[in-house]
A and B are shown apart, each in its own frame.
Chain A
Amino acid sequence: MTDLALAVENPSVAARAKELRDEQRFARHQRVDRMFSVLLVVQYVAGILGAWAVSPFAWQGKERVLHMHVWVAVLAGAGITLLPVLMAWLKPGALLTRHVIAASQMLSSALLIHLTGGRIETHFHVFGSLAFLAFYLDWRVILTATVVVAGDHFARGIFWPESVYGVTNPEWWRFLEHAGWVVFEDIFLIYACIFTNRELDAAAVRQAQVEHLSEQEQLKSAALEMALAEIRVASA
């Protein structure tokens, strides 16, 4: 974030620029929170439908029971989705809300990856989600998402390595290879967030300066009107 007080000499203009910037950011954060709340619900429903379509039942001979994937999609999906959706509607725009959303979105990715049997194509959900999280223009949110993804891979790599790497004894650093591709995307997204914020800050400063100039002009006009009125009174 550019220091607006340094960018603008006039403290009142700087204060107004900061106010405009914070309003815009808050409105953006609220809007993206609500977009994510819809997305999370859509993902939840899609996860259940996907699990039902791909593996509805587990079998023993000719007997069948509801497949574990369906239970996981319904119950784990609900648990993951509930908190961020509630926060998006009860605490929209709050810092904690978007971090919870980022973590939940990554957990949804992990769930979808699991439900599709670890399909490599489903891993693209992680990258798409990171790009969507960049809509917040808050690079810290991208870091939270990355930590959740890396943490998931690290924990599974330690306790459950076959689920990530397909082998039982991967090197301890293998999670870094996977997380590395996420970091690769992060670099560009974080740069985009910082760069766009600077542009928005500059726009806020320009708007504050325009407002300030407009106020100055109005004051000048008012003073002029007053002076003219005094002259008219004196000449009469």
Chain B
Amino acid sequence: MKRTTIITIVITLAALIWGGTVAAAYRAIRRFETTPGYAAIAPAEWPAASTIRRAAGEWSLVMLVHPKCSCSRASVSELQAILDKAPQRLRTHVLVFRPNDVPAGWERTDVVESASRLRRASVMIDQNGAEADHFGGFTSGQTFLYDDRGQLRFAGGITSLRGHAGLNRGRADIIEIVSSRNGTGTHPVFGCAITTPAERKHP
């Protein structure tokens, strides 16, 4: 076989792989980024079983975080954007998931470090996801907004896609609800699973 024929065959095959890869990559990335995690089944009122004390007369914002979830960097970044625009009275808690049987320091990651740098937010360990259970959340990045009477106003994510920081409906809704003290909202949540509905039902 002539060298030019071999070159043509090799390049044609590479071109087919090239085209196929581009199409497949777009499809795979799109599916990955746009598929939300399990939505929370959040209680309409602040969960009585929670160990987090809700300050009377103040609105509360709670975010669940899986410390190893790289996508949650975007959620933490969006949380800061909310805190920058929200009124001072918003009390914010970031609950860091920590399973029972993991080595010490398992939860010390850059995601938690950046959460601890958030202004006007407290970070606490959620041992074995007990608080996530009380709030009915499954997915890292899940955010709950409760008003000053302990009524649920928002449950959802605050990123537009998995791992994408930037303008999004969830962030805008929370700022709008807190600022106007009116309305409710929800938004898909994107992040790693802290647990699944099946696991919660049959631990």
Q: Residues of A at under 8 Å CB distance from B?
A: 54-62, 64, 67-68, 71-72, 75-76, 78-80, 82-83, 86-87, 90-91, 100, 104, 107, 111, 114, 117-118, 155, 159-160, 162-163, 165-168
Contacts and interface: CB of A to CB of B under 8 A. Distances in A.
A79 B193 contact: no
B57 interface: no
Contact of B164 (A86, A107, A166): A166
A166 B25 contact: no
7 contacts: A59-B193, A60-B196, A61-B97, A61-B195, A117-B74, A117-B165, A166-B164
A86 B193 contact: no
* Interface size bracket, B side: 35 or more
A166 B10 contact: no
A160 B30 CA distance: 7
B74 to A, nearest CB: 6
A25 B28 CA distance: 40
Nearest to A76: B25
B71 interface: yes
Interface stretch (B41-49, B62-70, B114-122, B147-155): B62-70
A162 B161 contact: yes
B24 A76 contact: yes
A61 B99 contact: yes
Helix, strand, loop or mixed for chain A's interface?
A: helix
Contact of A61 (B26, B71, B194): B194
B14 interface: yes
Contacts of B193: 59-61
Interface in B16-41: 17-18, 20-22, 24-26, 28-30, 32-34
B32 A55 contact: no
Contact of A163 (B15, B33, B69, B73): B33
